[in-house]
Amino acid sequence: METEVKQYGARFKLDYSLVYWNSRLEHEHMRLTSLFKPGETVCDMFAGIGPFAIPAAQKGCFVYANDLNPDSVRYLKINAQFNKVDELVCVHNMDARKFISQLMNVSSGESDLQSVADDKTKEADKKPSGVSEIENEVGKECKTIEGNAKKRLKQTVLPIAKPWEHIDHVIMNLPASALEFLDSFSNVLQRKYWKGPLPLIHCYCFIRASETTESITAVAETALKFHIQDPVFHRVRDVAPNKAMFCLSFRLPEACLMEED
Protein backbone atom coordinates (compact mmCIF):
# COMPACT_ATOMS: atom_id res chain seq x y z
CA MET A 1 0.00 0.00 0.00
CA GLU A 2 1.38 3.39 -0.97
CA THR A 3 1.88 5.99 1.72
CA GLU A 4 3.55 9.41 2.04
CA VAL A 5 6.13 10.59 4.59
CA LYS A 6 7.85 13.92 5.18
CA GLN A 7 11.45 14.63 6.14
CA TYR A 8 12.19 18.28 6.75
CA GLY A 9 11.50 20.01 3.41
CA ALA A 10 11.02 16.85 1.32
CA ARG A 11 8.05 14.51 0.78
CA PHE A 12 8.39 10.86 -0.17
CA LYS A 13 5.92 8.40 -1.64
CA LEU A 14 6.65 4.75 -0.89
CA ASP A 15 5.28 1.29 -0.34
CA TYR A 16 6.78 -0.18 2.86
CA SER A 17 6.34 -3.71 1.50
CA LEU A 18 8.55 -2.97 -1.54
CA VAL A 19 11.28 -0.55 -0.49
CA TYR A 20 13.58 0.32 2.41
CA TRP A 21 12.53 3.18 4.69
CA ASN A 22 13.72 3.99 8.21
CA SER A 23 12.35 7.17 9.79
CA ARG A 24 15.05 6.87 12.52
CA LEU A 25 17.58 7.98 9.91
CA GLU A 26 15.92 11.35 9.36
CA HIS A 27 18.47 13.26 11.44
CA GLU A 28 21.36 11.50 9.67
CA HIS A 29 19.93 12.28 6.23
CA MET A 30 19.84 15.95 7.23
CA ARG A 31 23.24 15.93 8.96
CA LEU A 32 25.00 14.54 5.90
CA THR A 33 23.23 16.66 3.29
CA SER A 34 23.94 19.77 5.38
CA LEU A 35 27.62 19.19 4.50
CA PHE A 36 26.90 19.53 0.77
CA LYS A 37 27.15 22.87 -1.04
CA PRO A 38 25.05 24.11 -3.98
CA GLY A 39 26.68 23.15 -7.28
CA GLU A 40 28.47 20.10 -5.86
CA THR A 41 28.16 16.67 -7.47
CA VAL A 42 26.97 13.83 -5.28
CA CYS A 43 26.95 10.12 -6.03
CA ASP A 44 24.59 7.93 -3.97
CA MET A 45 25.45 4.26 -4.54
CA PHE A 46 22.57 2.81 -2.43
CA ALA A 47 20.02 5.57 -2.81
CA GLY A 48 16.76 3.81 -1.90
CA ILE A 49 13.82 6.12 -2.59
CA GLY A 50 16.01 9.21 -2.23
CA PRO A 51 16.27 10.50 1.38
CA PHE A 52 19.84 11.72 0.71
CA ALA A 53 19.50 12.32 -3.04
CA ILE A 54 16.42 14.52 -2.98
CA PRO A 55 17.47 16.91 -0.16
CA ALA A 56 20.88 17.18 -1.87
CA ALA A 57 19.18 18.15 -5.15
CA GLN A 58 16.95 20.59 -3.27
CA LYS A 59 20.17 22.32 -2.17
CA GLY A 60 21.24 22.65 -5.82
CA CYS A 61 23.59 19.65 -5.99
CA PHE A 62 23.62 17.39 -9.06
CA VAL A 63 23.05 13.79 -7.93
CA TYR A 64 23.86 10.44 -9.56
CA ALA A 65 21.60 8.09 -7.62
CA ASN A 66 21.56 4.30 -7.91
CA ASP A 67 19.76 1.36 -6.35
CA LEU A 68 19.59 -2.34 -7.19
CA ASN A 69 15.91 -2.66 -6.27
CA PRO A 70 13.70 -1.68 -9.26
CA ASP A 71 10.87 -0.64 -6.90
CA SER A 72 13.21 1.73 -5.04
CA VAL A 73 14.29 3.20 -8.37
CA ARG A 74 10.67 3.61 -9.47
CA TYR A 75 9.86 5.49 -6.24
CA LEU A 76 13.10 7.47 -6.46
CA LYS A 77 12.00 8.80 -9.85
CA ILE A 78 8.47 9.47 -8.57
CA ASN A 79 9.88 11.33 -5.56
CA ALA A 80 12.36 13.36 -7.60
CA GLN A 81 9.43 14.58 -9.72
CA PHE A 82 7.17 15.00 -6.68
CA ASN A 83 9.78 17.34 -5.12
CA LYS A 84 10.45 19.07 -8.46
CA VAL A 85 14.13 18.13 -8.60
CA ASP A 86 14.04 15.43 -11.29
CA GLU A 87 16.32 17.51 -13.56
CA LEU A 88 19.01 17.28 -10.89
CA VAL A 89 18.73 13.57 -10.06
CA CYS A 90 20.15 11.10 -12.56
CA VAL A 91 18.72 7.69 -11.61
CA HIS A 92 20.29 4.25 -12.21
CA ASN A 93 19.21 0.69 -11.46
CA MET A 94 22.19 -1.64 -11.14
CA ASP A 95 24.65 -3.18 -8.73
CA ALA A 96 26.66 -0.43 -6.99
CA ARG A 97 30.05 -1.72 -8.20
CA LYS A 98 28.90 -1.75 -11.81
CA PHE A 99 27.39 1.71 -11.31
CA ILE A 100 30.70 3.23 -10.15
CA SER A 101 32.63 1.45 -12.87
CA GLN A 102 30.30 2.71 -15.61
CA LEU A 103 30.01 6.21 -14.17
CA MET A 104 33.81 6.57 -14.29
CA ASN A 105 34.16 4.94 -17.70
CA VAL A 106 35.31 7.70 -20.05
CA SER A 107 35.03 5.65 -23.25
CA SER A 108 31.41 4.60 -22.71
CA GLY A 109 30.39 7.93 -21.28
CA GLU A 110 32.40 10.50 -23.25
CA SER A 111 30.21 10.31 -26.34
CA ASP A 112 26.78 10.49 -24.81
CA LEU A 113 26.61 10.33 -21.00
CA GLN A 114 25.21 13.68 -20.14
CA SER A 115 26.23 15.13 -16.87
CA VAL A 116 26.09 18.88 -16.62
CA ALA A 117 29.07 19.45 -18.85
CA ASP A 118 29.85 22.59 -20.84
CA ASP A 119 29.13 21.14 -24.26
CA LYS A 120 25.78 19.75 -23.17
CA THR A 121 24.82 23.02 -21.58
CA LYS A 122 25.49 24.73 -24.92
CA GLU A 123 23.41 22.08 -26.67
CA ALA A 124 20.59 22.64 -24.23
CA ASP A 125 20.67 26.34 -25.04
CA LYS A 126 19.53 25.48 -28.58
CA LYS A 127 16.57 23.37 -27.45
CA PRO A 128 13.24 24.40 -26.05
CA SER A 129 12.96 24.25 -22.27
CA GLY A 130 12.19 20.78 -20.97
CA VAL A 131 13.89 17.49 -20.45
CA SER A 132 15.49 15.04 -22.85
CA GLU A 133 16.55 11.42 -22.36
CA ILE A 134 20.06 10.15 -22.99
CA GLU A 135 20.79 6.94 -24.90
CA ASN A 136 23.67 5.43 -22.94
CA GLU A 137 23.67 2.51 -20.55
CA VAL A 138 24.58 4.29 -17.35
CA GLY A 139 23.18 7.61 -18.44
CA LYS A 140 20.05 6.51 -20.23
CA GLU A 141 17.78 7.77 -17.49
CA CYS A 142 19.69 11.03 -17.15
CA LYS A 143 18.31 14.26 -18.40
CA THR A 144 19.99 17.20 -19.94
CA ILE A 145 20.02 20.23 -17.77
CA GLU A 146 17.39 22.43 -19.20
CA GLY A 147 14.68 24.75 -18.03
CA ASN A 148 14.42 25.35 -14.31
CA ALA A 149 17.30 23.10 -13.30
CA LYS A 150 19.69 24.86 -15.65
CA LYS A 151 18.62 28.22 -14.28
CA ARG A 152 19.05 26.90 -10.73
CA LEU A 153 22.53 25.60 -11.49
CA LYS A 154 23.54 28.79 -13.28
CA GLN A 155 22.76 30.53 -10.00
CA THR A 156 25.18 28.20 -8.26
CA VAL A 157 28.38 26.86 -9.83
CA LEU A 158 28.75 26.12 -13.53
CA PRO A 159 30.24 24.30 -15.30
CA ILE A 160 29.79 21.06 -13.43
CA ALA A 161 32.24 18.34 -14.39
CA LYS A 162 31.59 14.98 -15.95
CA PRO A 163 31.64 12.17 -13.36
CA TRP A 164 35.09 10.92 -14.41
CA GLU A 165 36.43 14.45 -13.95
CA HIS A 166 35.03 15.29 -10.56
CA ILE A 167 32.62 14.14 -7.85
CA ASP A 168 32.47 15.86 -4.47
CA HIS A 169 30.70 13.30 -2.26
CA VAL A 170 29.93 9.60 -2.43
CA ILE A 171 27.23 8.18 -0.12
CA MET A 172 27.29 4.47 0.75
CA ASN A 173 24.39 3.62 3.06
CA LEU A 174 24.32 -0.15 3.16
CA PRO A 175 25.74 -0.58 6.68
CA ALA A 176 25.96 -4.38 6.71
CA SER A 177 28.28 -4.52 3.70
CA ALA A 178 29.16 -1.06 2.34
CA LEU A 179 32.79 -1.39 3.52
CA GLU A 180 33.23 -4.29 1.10
CA PHE A 181 32.10 -2.07 -1.79
CA LEU A 182 35.08 0.27 -1.26
CA ASP A 183 36.96 -1.89 -3.76
CA SER A 184 34.80 -0.15 -6.39
CA PHE A 185 37.24 2.80 -6.24
CA SER A 186 40.51 0.91 -6.64
CA ASN A 187 40.74 0.91 -10.41
CA VAL A 188 38.41 3.47 -11.94
CA LEU A 189 39.55 7.07 -11.40
CA GLN A 190 42.04 8.25 -14.01
CA ARG A 191 44.58 10.90 -13.05
CA LYS A 192 44.65 12.40 -16.57
CA TYR A 193 40.93 13.24 -16.43
CA TRP A 194 40.37 13.94 -12.74
CA LYS A 195 40.13 17.59 -11.68
CA GLY A 196 40.39 18.96 -8.15
CA PRO A 197 40.22 17.12 -4.83
CA LEU A 198 39.14 13.51 -4.72
CA PRO A 199 35.64 12.75 -3.39
CA LEU A 200 34.73 12.57 0.25
CA ILE A 201 33.41 9.05 0.88
CA HIS A 202 30.64 8.63 3.47
CA CYS A 203 30.48 4.90 4.15
CA TYR A 204 27.99 3.55 6.70
CA CYS A 205 28.87 0.53 8.82
CA PHE A 206 28.02 -1.28 12.03
CA ILE A 207 30.51 -1.45 14.89
CA ARG A 208 30.06 -4.20 17.48
CA ALA A 209 31.36 -4.13 21.06
CA SER A 210 34.18 -6.47 20.00
CA GLU A 211 35.32 -4.03 17.28
CA THR A 212 37.01 -0.62 17.32
CA THR A 213 37.18 2.31 14.90
CA GLU A 214 40.78 1.19 14.21
CA SER A 215 39.69 -2.34 13.28
CA ILE A 216 36.93 -0.96 11.02
CA THR A 217 39.42 1.40 9.35
CA ALA A 218 41.65 -1.61 8.69
CA VAL A 219 38.71 -3.43 7.05
CA ALA A 220 38.03 -0.36 4.89
CA GLU A 221 41.71 -0.10 3.90
CA THR A 222 41.85 -3.77 2.95
CA ALA A 223 38.86 -3.34 0.62
CA LEU A 224 40.15 -0.06 -0.81
CA LYS A 225 43.73 -1.41 -1.01
CA PHE A 226 45.11 1.94 0.18
CA HIS A 227 45.79 3.76 3.44
CA ILE A 228 43.02 6.05 4.69
CA GLN A 229 44.23 9.37 6.08
CA ASP A 230 42.28 10.97 8.95
CA PRO A 231 39.14 8.79 9.03
CA VAL A 232 36.21 10.43 10.84
CA PHE A 233 33.59 8.28 12.56
CA HIS A 234 30.16 9.72 13.35
CA ARG A 235 27.91 7.63 15.63
CA VAL A 236 24.49 7.53 13.93
CA ARG A 237 22.45 5.40 16.37
CA ASP A 238 22.50 2.29 18.52
CA VAL A 239 20.83 -0.60 16.74
CA ALA A 240 21.30 -3.25 19.48
CA PRO A 241 22.88 -3.35 22.98
CA ASN A 242 26.31 -4.18 21.52
CA LYS A 243 26.02 -2.76 18.04
CA ALA A 244 25.90 0.81 16.69
CA MET A 245 25.60 2.30 13.23
CA PHE A 246 28.39 4.71 12.25
CA CYS A 247 29.25 6.87 9.26
CA LEU A 248 32.93 6.63 8.28
CA SER A 249 33.93 9.72 6.27
CA PHE A 250 37.28 10.16 4.57
CA ARG A 251 38.79 11.66 1.44
CA LEU A 252 39.56 9.06 -1.19
CA PRO A 253 43.38 8.74 -1.19
CA GLU A 254 45.37 10.13 -4.14
CA ALA A 255 46.80 6.62 -4.56
CA CYS A 256 43.40 5.58 -6.01
CA LEU A 257 44.09 7.65 -9.14
CA MET A 258 45.23 5.44 -12.01
CA GLU A 259 48.09 6.71 -14.16
CA GLU A 260 46.86 5.22 -17.48
CA ASP A 261 43.72 3.70 -19.01
- Name the 3-class secondary structure at 45: coil
Residue 64 and residue 41 in contact, taking contact as beta carbons nearer than 8 Å: yes
Query: Which of 13, 18, 20, 30 touches ligand SAM (CB under 6 A)?
Result: 20
Q: Does 55 bind ligand SAM (CB under 6 A)?
A: no
Compute the least distance from the CB of residue 48 to ligand SAM, in Å. 3
Q: Does 69 bind ligand SAM (CB under 6 A)?
A: yes
Nearer to ligand SAM, 68 or 78 (CB): 68
Measured distance CA(194)–CA(57) in Å, rounded: 23
Measured distance CA(250)–CA(30) in Å, rounded: 19
Q: Does 52 bind ligand SAM (CB under 6 A)?
A: yes
φ, ψ (nearest 5 deg) of residue 176? -70, -25
Instruction: Give the distance between the most distant pair of CA atoms in the chain.
Output: 60
Q: Does 75 bind ligand SAM (CB under 6 A)?
A: no
Query: Which of 51, 60, 163, 199 touches ligand SAM (CB under 6 A)?
Result: 51
How many helices (H) and strands (E) would you count in the chain? 8, 9
Q: Does 26 bind ligand SAM (CB under 6 A)?
A: no
Q: Does 25 bind ligand SAM (CB under 6 A)?
A: yes
Residue 84 and residue 111 in contact, taking contact as beta carbons nearer than 8 Å: no
Query: Which of 14, 33, 48, 207 touches ligand SAM (CB under 6 A)?
Result: 48
Q: Does 63 bind ligand SAM (CB under 6 A)?
A: no
Compute the least distance from the CB of residue 42 to ligand SAM, in Å. 12
Q: Does 46 bind ligand SAM (CB under 6 A)?
A: yes
Compute the least distance from the CB of residue 198 to ligand SAM, in Å. 22
Handedness of CA 182, 227, 42, 16 (dihedral sign): positive
**Residues numbered 88-147 forming contacts with ligand SAM, rule: CB under 6 A:** 95-96
Q: Which residue stretch of 63-71, 122-130, 139-147, 217-225 sits at the interface with ligand SAM (rule: CB under 6 A)?
A: 63-71
73-87 burial: b if 16+ Cβ within 10 Å, else e: bbbbbbbbebbebbb
Calculate the alpha carbon distances from 137 to 11, 93, 131, 227 in Å: 29, 10, 18, 33
The 161-200 contact track toward ligand SAM, x by CB under 6 A, reads ------------xx--------------------------
Measured distance CA(250)–CA(80) in Å, rounded: 28
Compute the least distance from the CB of residue 138 to ligand SAM, in Å. 13
Task: List residues near ligand SAM by CB under 6 A.
Answer: 20, 22, 25, 46-48, 51-52, 66-69, 72, 95-96, 173-174
